[in-house]
Structures are given as C-alpha cells and as structure tokens.
Amino acid sequence: MLGEIRGEVRFKEPLSFHTSLRIGGSADIFIVPQDVEDIRLALSFAEREQLSLDVIGGGNNLLVSDRGVRGVVLKLEGCLGRAEFNGEEAVAGAGVSLSALIREAAALNLGGIECLVGVPATVGGAVAMNAGTHDGGIADFISAVYFLYPDGTLGEFKPGNGSYSYNVFTPPAKSVLIGARLQLHRRPFAEIQKDIKQRLKQKKSTQPLALASVGCVWKNPPGETATRLIEKVGLKGKRLNGAEISAKHANFIVNRGGAAASDIKALMQLTLDRVRNHFGITLEAEMKTMGEI
C-alpha cells in the first residue's frame, strides 16, 4: 500500500528537519502526500497495520521527543496548498500557510484575519491548535472544517458556540483535517497592508524571531500574562545547554544550538514549579508534544 503513494515515503526521517525548534528524533515512517488520495492511503495503511498516525503541518508549535516517534508521521505542509475565494469566503487546504492566505485575501480586498499575521502555521495546524493572538484566533473566522476518513469519505464539521476551547480542537478519530472554510470581509487593500506592517513591526521588536522556537510556550492564565509571571520569578534568560527562556520574550523558549527536547522540557518544568510556588498558579502549555519526552 505504501508503494501506491505518489508522494514521498521515508523511513527513519529526522523530525528535527521538520520542526521550528529544530529538535526531534526520527519518525519510523514519514509520508509527504502529494494529494488527498495519498492521505487516504496513508490512513488506510496505518489502520491496517495498527500503527499510530500523527499529522504535522509546518511543525511550528511542536516539541518532538529526542527518541523520535513510532508509527506513521504525515506531513501536510506543501500538500493541499491552495485557497479558493468566493465572495467573502475562503476555502483553504490544510497545507496553505497562514501568511499566504492573508496575502492572497488582501490582494482581493478581503480582510479580517490580519490578527493572525506573523503566526507561523499552516491552516491545518492553526485550526487544530486554534492559533491566535490577543486580538483574535482562527476560530473566530471558521465556518466549516473538512476531514478525510480512511475509507475515503469526507466529513464536514460546522463549529458552533463553544466548539473551540482556548487552544484545543480535536478531529474525529482516525481522520485527518484537510481544510477549512473561513468567513472574511471586504476591506481596502491599503488598510490591510498598513495593519500587516504594523503588526509585523511589533512582533519583530518584541519576539526572538531570528532563533528557533515554538512561539509562546504557555497560555495566559485568567487576568494575567505568562510572560510577566516568568519574569517575576527570575527565569527570563535562563539557559540549559542550548535551550534558553528567551531574554527578549520570557514566554518563548529558544534553541540557541544543540538543544535537546529534554532541555526544553526541563526548562518548562522549572518554570511550572517556580510560578506555582510563587503565585499558586499552574501554567498550561500552549504547544503539543509528540513521542515520549
């Protein structure tokens, strides 16, 4: 069945090549599908062989075990990479990058999603993680989400109030999220461009964008910011081997070179313990983990 896949099938593929942290051991079977049929074949193979199947997009909000990942890892970035626009709606494949979606929409005088500028994610990853900023999240624009099941059938889910939590969206079992429909609105191109430039300028000045990271590590507790809490307990700039709680933005952990997943995890545990001991607040992680860490 793997031989029928027209995309790429690799064995023992280092996942450090596919995560923004540049960290992670090997995937037993790594598949980069060419199209929806390849995704169906991968799903069917994993189900038949009783293997776990993990899906990644750009690998931007992900910490992968140093020991790697057993089973199948399906990488959708580059596949399902088109967006189509109809009126004030966009239907985007899971592999479309948010930056491309925002740029293509702006060219058609369609806005609303500028709050997601600078979020390094594919549409699939953004929907799965409910990516967002303090101005709003992708869930604010979703009118439908599309899934593919191992038997080749398609599923549609229309979120209602409360369908998304702060940062969790769970697809149906044994399915893969393949796209989403988003509601945009008309806005002059010049206004969109100005907004985008201002937001990117702000991010560049406050976030360590030049270093490998997963973005913000912790969710903001009610009425607080994780950044302030971490700074208050004196952990800003704390280093462990190649990993560092960023001296520029305390809610980022960066890989300065040679960091292992265990180093990232150790800094996270230190942060968790110290914030809990000082403030009685238990921080909750933003990012996903893959494999045993």
How does pLDDT run across 191-225, given as a tens digit for each residue? 999 999 999 898 888 889 889 998 899 999 999 99
- Dihedrals phi, psi of 145, to nearest 5 degrees: -125, 140
Coil, helix or strand for 242? coil
Residue 167 has pLDDT above 50, yes or no: no
In terms of average pLDDT, the best of 62-76, 141-155, 171-185 is: 62-76
**pLDDT for res 183:** 95
Q: Give the range among 65-74, 156-165, 267-276 with minimum mean pLDDT.
A: 156-165
CA dihedral 77, 79, 84, 89 (to 10 degrees): -50
Alpha-helix runs per DSSP H in 89-151: 98-107, 123-129
Residues 6+ away with beta carbon under 8 Å from 280: none
Q: Which tens digits make up the pLDDT trace of 143-157?
A: 999 999 988 899 998
Residue 170 has pLDDT above 80, yes or no: no
Residues 6+ away with beta carbon under 8 Å from 94: 57, 76, 79, 80, 122, 123, 124, 125, 127, 176, 177, 178, 179, 180
Long-range contacts of 148-157 (CB under 8 A, 24+ apart): 148/36, 148/39, 148/40, 148/43, 148/175, 148/176, 148/178, 149/43, 149/174, 149/175, 150/40, 150/43, 150/44, 150/46, 150/47, 150/174, 150/175, 151/40, 151/44, 152/40, 154/178
Q: Tokens 């088109």 identify what position?
A: 82
Q: Tokens 């074949």 identify what position?
A: 41
168: confidence class by pLDDT, cuts 50, 70, 90: low
Residue 57 has pLDDT above 50, yes or no: yes
- Dihedrals phi, psi of 159, to nearest 5 degrees: -65, 140
